[in-house]
Amino acid sequence: MPELGLRIANLRCRVAGNEILKGIDLTVEPGRVHGLMGPNGSGKSTLALSLTGHPQYEVTGGATLDGEDLFALSPDKRARAGLFLSFQYPASIPGVKVANFLHAARQAERPGDLPPAKFRALLLEKMEQLGIDPSFMGRYLNDGFSGGEKKRLEMLQLAVLAPKYAIMDETDSGLDIDALKDVGRSIAALRESDEGRNTGFLIITHYPRILQYVVPDIVHVMIDGRIVMTGGHDLANRIEREGYDKIRDDKHRTGAVV
């Protein structure tokens, strides 16, 4: 039996000659939610993009996806193996309808598993589950969408693809409080669905706000390319009260490398 999980071991990453990640060890288990918090420039998004195969990132170290060598796979094969990335700034593609995009994405990962009629039924079911108006299907991909609509569309994509592991890269970025609630509730609904119950989540964020709606099992703090602290949900609340500088100062006083 393979060792399940998205397992990252001593991951280092250089971008344009600069070392951004300085030895990351992290395991995201099926059905568990990990929160990854840290200030701007700490390397959180670099971690997400290095795992999904950004071509300009020089990666050393190891990562496995349910026992399979992740870095031996091309980016498209990583997606087919069950790895999903929610982008911080989703792209707009005028001329490509949402329904056609979602169908093409599902076909790329699971060729021929659903005939068109059954796919449409699945799409309508997921839209109802997430509270998304069916008119979304006829709109062009993210064209003229608000920030909240873009993120909710990514939640729909996540629901349709039902990946094994989902990396949510600052999904809460730029959202007002109502949109944040909608996205948080969407993720919570996906976790409770039959398809999403066994999905492992890595939610990357600056702030603990989204973690009020999607309660993490574990919270990690990344500073200067290293995970410097791991704890429960109360760690997110501590960051809200004290900020990242306090954690950095505490680590320096105790002699830890930050």
Over residues 225-234, the pLDDT tens digits come to 999 999 999 9
Q: What is the pLDDT of residue 257?
A: 44
Q: Note if the pTM is more than 0.85.
A: yes
Q: What is the pLDDT of residue 187?
A: 82
Mean pLDDT (the chain) is 88
Q: What is the pLDDT of residue 258?
A: 40
What backbone phi and psi angles, to 5 degrees, belong to 43?
110, 10
CATH superfamily of 6-253: P-loop containing nucleotide triphosphate hydrolases (3.40.50.300)
Per-residue pLDDT at 109 exceeds 90: no
147 falls in which pLDDT band (50, 70, 90)?
confident
Q: Is 228 left (phi over 0), alpha (psi -120 to 50) or beta?
A: alpha
Q: What is the pLDDT of residue 252?
A: 60
The count of residues in the chain is 258
Q: Is 102 helix (H, G, I), strand (E, B) or coil?
A: helix
Per-residue pLDDT at 137 exceeds 80: yes
CB 24 within 8 A of CB 61: yes
Per-residue pLDDT at 244 exceeds 80: yes
CA dist., res. 232 & res. 215, Å (int) = 10
Q: What is the pLDDT of residue 190?
A: 80
Mean pLDDT of 48-58: 92
Which positions ≥6 away from 35 have C-beta within 8 Å? 203, 205, 208, 211, 216, 218, 219, 220, 233, 236
Domain ranges of the chain: 6-253
